[in-house]
Amino acid sequence: MKPILTVDDSPSMRMMLRASLMRAGYTVVEAEDGRAALEWLETNEPAAVITDLTMPHLDGFGLISALRAQPRLSGVPVLVLTTESDPDKKARARAVGATGWIVKPFDPEKLKTVLRRVVH
């Protein structure tokens, strides 16, 4: 099975995601920002991407836009995991191609349920 790519500038958040996802049976690859994620995506294809919105170098909106612009990756599910609950940001994330939205702090069971729905 392809890995889940987690993208967050917080090492502790990446660690929590990795622990939850590995317990659920997924393989995890981590990137600290959108730019690092795109470098990995040049030669790899994930089962899904879980990304924060607010990050240095390339934010979540930029990452999702760049991912959706690549035909090879256009169908990869992208979940936004953020502290943001602003409806305008949700709409913007949807507009650039986000598949779903999860608010931090996340519930590992809900995350697992959402992933089961979007990863094929």
Q: What is the pLDDT of residue 46?
A: 97
Cα–Cα distance measured from residue 13 to residue 33, given in angstroms and rounded to the nearest whole number: 12
Structure-model confidence comparison of residues 50 and 85, the more confident one: 50
Tokens of 54: 């607010």
Runs of H (alpha helix) within 69-107: 87-96
Other beta carbons within 10 angstroms of residue 85's beta carbon come to: 10
40-80 tens-digit pLDDT? 999 999 999 999 999 999 999 999 999 999 999 999 999 99
Q: Is pLDDT of 96 > 80?
A: yes
Could you give the 3-state DSSP secondary structure of residue 68?
Answer: helix
CA atoms lying within 13 Å on the CB side of residue 116: 8
In this prediction, residue 86 carries a pLDDT of 87
Query: What total number of domains does the chain contain?
Result: 1
Q: Find the CATH number of the domain harbouring 59.
A: 3.40.50.2300
Q: What is the pLDDT of residue 1?
A: 83
- Does 120 have pLDDT greater than 80? no
Residue pLDDT, tens place only, 22-46: 999 999 999 999 999 999 999 999 9
Block residue for tokens 């909106």: 61
- Domain ranges, residue 93: 4-118
